């Protein structure tokens, strides 16, 4: 069980304080270390076994771990090996009552950052953890520098808004690990850019990056696409085909729109996540692949689970670390920064990029951008073509952007989303369903009000609620 025993005097409210995970089965030792470490300014989480620690480790991403060697269930060394497998840069300080050379050598050979012999000396613990946390934070800074040096953040990840800075911090934290990541956000927010940034900042960056849009693959071909097939597996399978999981060996596999997988493909995906092995369609031999999985969806997967359309066990396997990409309307001045980045990208070599007049900037910031970054890119491409001078005027923006005072009509929003949707991506039905859900949420489930906002009658709304199984 993970217990947050942080007392009121601790820096628990300070989310920037380094986080230390203490793994020890002795309640009194946990309580003592908790008191000492909070006194030193750390946030502290405690776990009583390796199993419970590993279950929550991916989500909390601590800066350092204090690990007792003698644990029930998984031993300390076994727990250390599992932590190292997923978090190679996370410093682990071993606590041991056994000062025998063999024990210490085993721990250090297994990748422990340092060790302390029990009874623990408070001063030595403070010094050791200070060094460990410093090393951990340097690893995060290194990942950040690598991201910047590699040309990232990509266009859509430009921005200084609190929402974007928080997202970039999370990318820097999770990138060096090997954990599965679930990225959720509206269409056009840049989920693939986030996934790509994680890959580029990881130790797998020199290895394959394989991206699959599950929504673009017909259900009948999903298993073949992901897991490959043998020659003759089905009509038309003239040769052996390596699936995406095999192609991503040693690299990163990005499954976009993972909610669109068929129930059968979901079941196979769950198995491959558990075992890292699978069979090609029509094949008897097991194939192993060393991949890191990043999944994304514009739908809320928790809602999909509740509606019975997505496997709960698969959801928990995917959402080991979940990231929410904020919509553009929640990113304030980032709209202008991203637009400038797009204009710079389009400028001829050596030429000055087009500028945005102050009125244009105001207009852009007051528009909700339902198609998010993708819609903004389209708008800048259009504006840069029609601009009559080196400055983009309000008149150069698309009509829907120029009328921000009134909320855009649903059909305009839908059109914007359609324009921004990827080829082979969401259908009109998807967009309509989303618009209805959104309107109901904003109207606090008042159907008359939601219908009014959508510009449709009450009976039409009821018909569509039935069509999309939204009656409840």
Helix (H, G, I), strand (E, B) or coil at 282: coil
Neighbours of 150 (CB within 10 A): 13
Q: Is 445 left (phi over 0), alpha (psi -120 to 50) or beta?
A: left
**Residue closer to another protein, measured from CB, 48 or 430:** 48
x/- map, 111-140, another protein, by CB under 8 A: -------xxx-x------------------
**68 scored as a contact of another protein (CB under 8 A):** yes
Quote the CA–CA distance of 262 and 264 in Å, as a whole number.
5
Q: With CB under 8 A, what is the number of residues at the site for another protein?
A: 17
Residue 54's closest CA among 19, 84, 82, 25? 82
Beta bridge partners of 295: 182, 255
**Residue closer to another protein, measured from CB, 95 or 265:** 95
Q: How many residues does the chain have?
A: 472
**Residue closer to another protein, measured from CB, 23 or 454:** 23
Choices 29-37, 217-225, 247-255, 293-301; region in contact with another protein by CB under 8 A: 29-37
Quote the CA–CA distance of 112 and 108 in Å, as a whole number.
5
Identify residues 150-169 at the interface with another protein (CB under 8 A).
none
Choices 33-41, 134-142, 348-356, 455-463; region in contact with another protein by CB under 8 A: 33-41
Taking only Cα atoms into account, the Rg of the chain, rounded to an integer number of angstroms, comes to 26
Identify residues 408-467 at the interface with another protein (CB under 8 A).
none
**21 scored as a contact of another protein (CB under 8 A):** no
Identify residues 86-105 at the interface with another protein (CB under 8 A).
95, 97
Q: What is the sign of the dihedral through the CA atoms of 427, 433, 436 and 438? A: negative
Instruction: Please list, in sequence order, all residues whose beta carbon lies within 8 angstroms of the beta carbon of residue 405, skipping any fewer than 6 positions away.
Output: 366
Least distance from another protein to the Cβ atom of residue 52, Å? 18
Q: Are 196 and 209 in contact (CB under 8 A)?
A: yes
Least distance from another protein to the Cβ atom of residue 468, Å? 57
Least distance from another protein to the Cβ atom of residue 33, Å? 8
Dihedrals phi, psi of 26, to nearest 5 degrees: -90, 120
Least distance from another protein to the Cβ atom of residue 114, Å? 17
Quote the CA–CA distance of 37 and 133 in Å, as a whole number.
12
Q: Which of 5, 12, 36, 418 binds another protein (CB under 8 A)?
A: 36
Identify residues 201-230 at the interface with another protein (CB under 8 A).
none
**29 scored as a contact of another protein (CB under 8 A):** yes
**Residue closer to another protein, measured from CB, 9 or 459:** 9
**Residue closer to another protein, measured from CB, 35 or 135:** 35
Q: Which two tokens stand for residue 163?
A: 């929402």
Neighbours of 454 (CB within 10 A): 21
Helix (H, G, I), strand (E, B) or coil at 397: coil
**35 scored as a contact of another protein (CB under 8 A):** yes
**146 scored as a contact of another protein (CB under 8 A):** no
Residues in touch with another protein (CB under 8 A): 24, 26, 28-29, 31-32, 35-36, 39, 68, 70, 95, 97, 118-120, 122
């Amino acid at each position: 069980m993970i217990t947050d025993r942080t007392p009121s005097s601790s820096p628990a409210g300070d989310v920037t304080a380094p986080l230390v995970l203490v793994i020890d089965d002795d309640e009194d030792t946990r309580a003592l270390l908790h008191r000492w470490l909070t006194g030193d300014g750390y946030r502290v989480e405690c776990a009583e076994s390796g199993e419970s620690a590993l279950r929550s480790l991916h989500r909390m991403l601590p800066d350092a771990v204090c690990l007792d060697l003698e644990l029930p269930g998984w031993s300390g060394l076994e727990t250390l090996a599992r932590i190292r497998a997923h978090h190679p840069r996370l410093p682990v300080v071993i606590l041991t009552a056994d000062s025998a050379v063999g024990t210490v050598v085993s721990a250090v050979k297994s990748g422990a950052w340092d060790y302390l012999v029990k009874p623990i000396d408070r001063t030595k613990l403070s010094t050791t953890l200070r060094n460990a946390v410093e090393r951990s934070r340097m690893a995060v800074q290194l990942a950040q520098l690598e991201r910047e040096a590699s040309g990232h953040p990509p266009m859509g990840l430009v921005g200084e808004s609190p929402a974007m800075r928080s997202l970039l911090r999370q990318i820097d934290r999770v990138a060096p690990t090997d954990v599965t990541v679930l990225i959720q956000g509206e269409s056009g927010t840049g989920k693939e850019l986030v996934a790509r940034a994680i890959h580029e900042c990881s130790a797998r960056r020199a290895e394959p990056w394989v991206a699959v849009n599950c929504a673009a693959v017909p259900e009948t071909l999903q298993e073949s696409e992901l897991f490959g097939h043998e020659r003759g597996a089905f009509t038309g399978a003239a040769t052996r085909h390596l699936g995406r999981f095999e192609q991503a060996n040693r690299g990163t596999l990005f499954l976009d729109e993972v909610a669109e997988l068929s129930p059968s493909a979901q079941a196979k995906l769950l198995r491959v996540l558990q075992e890292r092995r699978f069979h090609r369609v029509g094949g008897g031999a097991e194939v192993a692949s060393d991949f890191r999985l990043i999944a994304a969806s514009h739908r809320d997967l928790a809602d999909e689970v509740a509606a019975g359309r997505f496997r709960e066990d698969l959801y928990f396997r995917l959402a080991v670390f979940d990231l929410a990409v904020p919509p553009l309307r929640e990113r304030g001045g980032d709209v202008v920064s991203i637009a400038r980045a797009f204009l710079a990208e389009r400028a001829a070599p050596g030429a000055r990029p087009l500028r945005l007049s102050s009125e244009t900037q105001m207009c852009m910031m007051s528009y909700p951008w339902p198609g998010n970054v993708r819609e903004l890119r389209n708008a800048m491409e259009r504006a840069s073509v029609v601009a009559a001078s080196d400055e983009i005027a309000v008149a150069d923006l698309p009509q829907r952007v120029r009328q921000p005072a009134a909320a855009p009509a649903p059909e305009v929003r839908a059109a914007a989303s359609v324009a921004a949707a990827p080829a082979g991506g969401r259908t009109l039905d998807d967009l309509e369903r989303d618009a209805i859900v959104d309107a109901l949420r904003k109207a606090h489930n008042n159907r008359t009000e939601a219908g009014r906002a959508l510009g449709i009658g009450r009976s039409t709304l009821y018909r569509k609620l039935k069509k999309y199984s939204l009656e409840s």
